[in-house]
Amino acid sequence: MKRFGSVIRISKSNWDDFKTHHANIWPEVLEILHECNVRNFLIYRYGESLFKYLEYVGSDFEADMDRPSKNR
């Protein structure tokens, strides 16, 4: 298993949109993440910063991250 994290900034003007889109994650999105070998995907907010954390259990990270855009 590999762990990945990243930090991004989100402006105050976009915060409401972010909350709306992430309040109720569609089951299909969770299924795609699982199919792409992503486990324990979390997003934390600190002020205007978002910290994303995920655990990857596959063997080809780049290929798995490309799969959703190619298959859907």
Q: What is the mean pLDDT of residues 5-30?
A: 91
Handedness of CA 63, 71, 36, 14 (dihedral sign): positive
Q: What is the mean pLDDT of residues 24-44?
A: 94
Residue type, 25: I
What's the chain's average pLDDT? 92
Q: What is the mean pLDDT of residues 26-54?
A: 94
Q: Which domain holds residue 27?
A: 2-71
Strands (E), the chain: 2-9, 38-46, 49-56
Q: What is the CATH number of the domain that holds 8?
A: 3.30.70.1090
DSSP character at residue 58: S
Structure tokens given for 65: 């991250």
Residue type, 49: S
Among residues 68, 63, 49, the alpha carbon closest in space to that of 6 is found at 49
Domain count, the chain: 1
pLDDT, residue 69, reads: 80
